[in-house]
Amino acid sequence: MKNQLKKHIKILQELGYEYIYTERGMKKNNLQEKIKKLEEINRIIQECKKCDLYKSRLQAVLGEGNPDAKLMFIGEAPGGDEDKQGRPFVGRAGKLLTRLIEATGHKRDEFYITNICKCRPPGNRTPTPWEMESCFPYLREQIDIIQPKVLCLLGATAARAFLVRHVSITKERGSVVNWENHLLYLTYHPAYILRNQNEEITLFEDIKKAIELAYS
Ligand code: SF4
C-alpha cells in the first residue's frame, strides 16, 4: 500500500503536481496529506471487526492507485488473490479490467481502484447488505479524500450499495447518476465478462466512456 502510494506521488511530482485544490473550498492540500489519510484508513481497516468478514480474511484490502484520481473503479469485495496479495483487482477479473483500461490508451495507475467491502467474503459470495453498510463509511472517506469526479461502479452489487435499491445491471449499465458531488457510471463487473465474453466490448466501451466523462 505504502509503496504503491509512494510510486504515485513520484509520478505526479514528475508531472509537475505540487499542490491539490479540493472541490470543497479551494483548500490547499497536498498529495502527501492525502496519502497520510489513506494510510490511516488502511491502518484502521486492518483492525476492523465491524462485520463478521474480519473472521475469515487474511487482510483487509483498502484499494490502490492515484490519490488524486478523477475516476475511481469500485467493485464489490476482494477475492482470493486480492485477500492474499492485499491489492484490489489482481486476479483474473482484475487482469481483464487492467487490460481493458490499457486498451483505452490509459494506465491503471492513473485511477483509483477499490471495493465496497474491504474484506473477502468466504467462498467469494456476494457481501450481505449489512456487510456493505458496515464497510461503506470507509469508502466514503476514501471518496472524500480523493475527490474523484466519476465513480465507475463495477456490477450490480456495487451499484446497489450506492443507489440503495435493486439494480438490473443488464438494463442499467451505461447510465450516469448524480450522487452527492460525483457522477456514478454503472457497468458490468469484469467477473461477469469472464463468463459472458461476448459482452467484453460493452465493458470496454463503458470504461472508455467513464474515462471520457472523468476528463471532460
Ligand atoms: S468488511 Fe469492512 S466493515 Fe467488515 S470487517 Fe472488513 S473492514 Fe470492517
Grid coordinates of 71: 475516476
pLDDT in tens, 115-158: 999 999 999 999 999 999 999 999 999 999 999 999 999 999 99
Grid coordinates of 174: 451505461
Confidence of residue 38 (pLDDT cuts 50, 70, 90): very high
What's the rounded mean pLDDT across residues 13-18? 52
Averaged pLDDT score across all residues of the chain: 91
User: Which atom belonging to ligand 1 lies closest to the Cα atom of 134?
Assistant: 3
User: Which atom belonging to ligand 1 lies closest to the Cα atom of 49?
Assistant: 5
pLDDT in tens, 87-123: 999 999 999 999 999 999 999 999 999 999 999 999 9
Confidence of residue 21 (pLDDT cuts 50, 70, 90): very low
Amino acid 9: pLDDT: 55
Confidence of residue 30 (pLDDT cuts 50, 70, 90): confident
Which spans in the chain are helix H?
2-14, 31-47, 80-85, 92-103, 129-146, 156-163, 169-172, 190-195, 200-215
The structure's pTM equals 0.88
Around ligand 1, the residues with Cβ closer than 6 Å are 45, 48-51, 53-54, 60, 117-119, 131, 134-135
Q: Which domains can be identified in the chain, with CATH numbers?
A: 2-215 (3.40.470.10)
Q: Which of 92, 69, 72, 97 lies closest to 82 in space, CA to CA?
A: 92
Grid cell 509537475 — which residue?
A: 16
Above 70 in pLDDT, residue 10? no
